[in-house]
Structure 1
Amino acid sequence: MSSERGRVLAVDPGEKRIGLAISDPTGTIANPLQVLKHVSRLIDAATIVQIAQEWGVVEIVIGQAIELDGTPGVMGRKAQRLAEAIRAQTEIPVVLWDESGSTQTARSARQKMGVKRSQRRGHMDDLAAVVILQSYLNSRDSVFPIEEE
């Protein structure tokens, strides 16, 4: 984990789409950024690196599906390969983070916010990326406590 505070970019890689979320400048609050259409690992990685550079992020977090036995599943291994492709194109630190259940959490949150069922259809990729990022940011707070005045 990076000890430097700043913007963090989260990536929720999927078969067809890639959800992106970005933190505020203090690295505290996650916000949806955009959804990319999956092209190829190298092109996706280059696009993610470009977005990270444009936003001045200090860290990239890739959501990785972990099986119940603690090993990465098929999508988890794809996330590992995407992380490697990103690392090959930038000096920005890349972290893999367990994203298990992030899409379901995002779907549940939309339901609790009162979004109608007909409007809940469609992709959850950017919201799933927000769930991944906020989980990661919250875990950092236990390592880097917020200083009280």
Structure 2
Amino acid sequence: MFKKYLALDVGDVRIGVARSDAMGMFAHPLEVIDRTKTKAVKRVQELCRQENTKSIVVGIPKSLDGQEKRQAEKVREFIEKLNKSIEGLEIIEIDERLSTISAERMLNETTNKDARGKRKVVDKIAAAIILQTYLDMKK
């Protein structure tokens, strides 16, 4: 049986979301949750229901030397809220070093969007990079 996943790139202002295909092989950018306008945990719950998944891959930010800083603590606080809100949720943490930088480079090479336009999509592309990294590691 195949397993579907969601992935989250959790930031202070936005959360990038990606999903896997039905076979759990490929990651696709899904949406960006604006944390200033949306109850993020509730939206993730809705997405889990819509996408029929109980498995979420969450990027844990680390510095280049592998150290976890304050942002990693904030991400883990968000993970704790998810765990309390979604029964039976499997959360897989993965090192997300450079995922946003990779997403920004990809956007710079493939589009002429201005900085504001890129901000609207970079987080969901970063989430897709996080998820694809995990899916590739599983193979």
Q: TM-score, normalised by structure 2?
A: 0.86
Cα RMSD for the two superposed structures: 1.8
Instruction: Name the structure 2 match of 1:84.
Output: 80
Q: Deviations over 1:65-122 (max 9, x none)?
A: 0134433211111111111111112212011111111111011112333x12xx1523
How many equivalent residue pairs?
133
Instruction: Name the structure 2 match of 1:28.
Output: 25
Instruction: Name the structure 2 match of 1:13.
Output: 10
Distance 1:26 1:74 in 2: 35
Question: Would the aligned equivalents of 1:107 and 1:120 in 2 still touch at CA under 8 Å?
Answer: no
Identity %: 27
Q: TM-score, normalised by structure 1?
A: 0.81
Higher RCO (Cα < 8 Å, 6 or more apart): 2
Question: Would the aligned equivalents of 1:106 and 1:127 in 2 still touch at CA under 8 Å?
Answer: yes
Structure 2 gaps of 5+ residues are none
From the CA coordinates, give the structure whose radius of gyration is larger.
1
Distance 2:31 2:46 in 1: 13
Q: Deviations over 1:9-68 (max 9, x none)?
A: 00111121111000101111111111111149xx42222122112210141011110134
Structure 1 gaps of 5+ residues are 142-149
Question: Would the aligned equivalents of 1:6 and 1:58 in 2 still touch at CA under 8 Å?
Answer: no
